[in-house]
Amino acid sequence: MVTKIRLAIVGVSALALALAAVAVQQATAPAPANAQDSAAQYPLLGVRAGVYNDGQAALWDLNITDHFRYFGPPARLRGYSPEQPIHFSHVIHVQQNKMECQYCHWSVSKASYAAIPEEETCMGCHGALVQGKSERGKKDIQYLKDMYAKNQPIPWQKVHVMPDYLKFNHKRHVKAGVTCQECHGQIPEMEQVERVSSMKMGWCISCHRQRGASIDCLVCHGHR
């Protein structure tokens, strides 16, 4: 009995001392000159070992409020793929017809927003030339033409819905060489666009840390 207790005491003490050693080492290590440098120091204890790469909460993540909030509205979740007013197929446009992303989403490199193209852009091809092969395609193109004639915008469903307090700048990411696929997934293979990344904070941060981008809060939470 007593030996067991002694063993336990020795074990716990050893663990505590190890922790203490890490703490002392960390405390005495020079503080990073700026936040960017801290990426190298990370992770210390693998505290995020249980967080999946895409930042979706691990089971042991006790963030109850997040669970409530993010497992509530599906529009905030990975896998959200709303039905669009037009069955726009990126497979046909991008994969088969080899269109560049920025042909339609031209503002990604110019502005914080990655705009949905104007109907005028669609009409460039679909106005006179391409009228669709399938029944559904024909119907959709007719719908586009009708809306264009009525001077009305097409009510696209937003796939990547972000909260208001997050100000994401597409331009800076595109100019920094982040490809569209890194966040949006293999869009060219999608018949209907789906949110493939959780796009939660941990997901953003892990990439920022990896690339040595700023992790100053205001970079994302101050402004666009």
Partner 1 sequence: MEHTNDSKKEAPVTYAEVNDTILKMLEPPGRGWFLLLFTCLFFLAIGASSWFYQIWSGFGESGKSHPIGWGTYITNFVFWVGIAHSGTLISAVLYLFRAAFRQPIYRLAEAMTVFAVMTAGLFPIIHLGRPWYALWLMPYPNQRALWPNFRSPLLWDVFAVSTYFTISATFFFVGLIPDIAAARDRATTKFRKALYGVTSLGWRNSHAQWKHYTAAYLIFAAFATPLVVSVHSVVSWDFAMSIVPGWHATIFPPYFVAGAIFSGVAMVVTLIIPLRKAFSLERLITPFHFDAMSKLILMTSGVVTYSYITEFYIAWFSNNDFERFQFWFRPFGEFWMAFWGMTFCNCIFPQLLWIKKLRTNIPFLFVLSIFINIGMWLERFNIIFQSLTREFIPAAWGGYNFSWIEVGITVGAFGWFGMWMTLFIKFFPSVAIVEIKEILPPPVRNEGHGHHQIAGNAGHH
Partner 2 sequence: MVESTSRAVVGVFTFMDDALNAVKDVKAANFDWRMYSPVPRHEIEEVTYPQKSPVRLVSFTCALTGCICGWALAILCSLDWPLRTSAKNIASIPAFFVPGYEWTILFGGLGTLGAIFAFCKIPSVVRTAGYDPRFSHDKFGVVVACSGTQVEDVKRRLKAAGADEVDVQESL
Partner 3 sequence: MEGEIVQLNASRKAAETAGLVRISRRRFLQGAGATAALGATACANPAEQKILPNVKGIPEMIPGVSVWYSSTCTECSAGCGIRVRTREGRAVKIEGNPNSPVNKGSLCALGQSALQSLYDPDRIRQPLKKVRATPTGPVFEPVTWDEVYGKLNDAISKSTNKKVILTGELQGGYQDLCSSLTGQLGFQQVVWDPTQPVAVAKASELVYGTYGVPTFSLDKAQVVVNFGADFLETWGSPCGYARQWADSRRSAKPLRFVHIEPRLSLTGANADLWLKPNLGSEVRVALFLIGQMIERGRTKGLSDDAKSKLTQITKGVTATEVEAQTGIPKEKLLLVAQYLSDAKASLVLAGGAATATADPMPLLVLANILNVMLGNVGKTVDIAAMDKPASSPSKVADLINDMQNGKVDVLITAGTNPQFSFPDAFGFEYALNRVGLKGEGTGKQAGLVVALASQLDETAQLADYVLPINTSLEDWGYVIQPSGDISLMQPSMREIFDTKSLGDVLLTIASNAGKQLDASPTFDAYVKSRFLALASAKGGDASDTFWRSSLEKGGLFASTGAVASGTPAISPAVFSMSYGVSVKPAHDGDLMLYPYPSVKAFDGRAANRPWMQELADPITQAVWGAWAEIHPDTAKANGIAQGDEVIVRTDNGEVHVPAYITEHVHKGIVAIPVGQGHSAYGRYATSTGQGGTVCSLFPKALAKDADSLVASGSPVTVLRGSGSGGLVTVQDFSSQEGRELARTTLITGAGAAHEHGEGGHGGEHHEPKQMYEQREHPVYQWGMAVDLAACTGCSACVVACQAENNIPVVGKKIVSQGREMAWLRIERYFDSIPTEDGGEELKVSFMPMMCQHCQNAPCEPVCPVYATYHNEEGMNAMVYNRCVGTRYCSNNCSYKVRRFNWFQYEWPELLSWQVNPDVTQRTVGIMEKCTFCVQRIAEAKDIAKDLGRLVEDGDITPACVQTCPTQALTFGDLKDPKSRVSKLAKHERAYKVLDHHLNTQPSVSYLNDIRYKA
Residue numbers at the binding site for partner 3 (CB under 8 A): 33-35, 69, 72-76, 82, 107, 110-113, 115-121, 147-148, 151-158, 161-167, 169, 171-172, 175, 216-218, 221-224
Per partner kind, with CB cut-offs from 5 to 8 A, the member of partner 1, partner 2, partner 3, none near residue 14 is none
Closest CA to 213 of 162, 165, 164, 168: 168
Tracing tokens 């269109």 back to the chain, one arrives at 99
Q: Is the Cβ of residue 6 or residue 110 nearer to partner 3 in the bound state?
A: 110
How far apart, in Å, do the first and last CA atoms of the chain sit?
Answer: 64
Binding pattern for the stretch 37-76 against partner 2, x by CB under 8 A and - elsewhere? -x--xxxxx-x-----------------------------
Residue 201 is a binding residue for partner 2 (CB under 8 A): no
Cβ of 184: how many Cβ atoms within 10 Å?
19
Of 124-153, which residues contact partner 1 (CB under 8 A)?
A: none
Give burial (CB, 10 Å; 0-12/13-18/19+) of 133.
exposed
Tracing tokens 């905030």 back to the chain, one arrives at 76
Smallest distance from partner 3 to CB 80, Å: 9
Q: Which two tokens stand for residue 78?
A: 């990975």
Smallest distance from partner 3 to CB 169, Å: 7
Give burial (CB, 10 Å; 0-12/13-18/19+) of 196.
buried
Q: Give the residue, chosen from 11, 32, 50, 73, that forms a contact with partner 1 under the rule CB under 8 A.
A: 50
8 Å CB contact between 56 and 198: yes
Q: Give the residue, chosen from 3, 7, 23, 178, that forms a contact with partner 2 under the rule CB under 8 A.
A: 23
Residue type at 154 in one-letter notation: I
Rule CB under 8 A: which residues touch partner 1?
47-48, 50-51, 55-58, 60-66, 200-203, 205-206
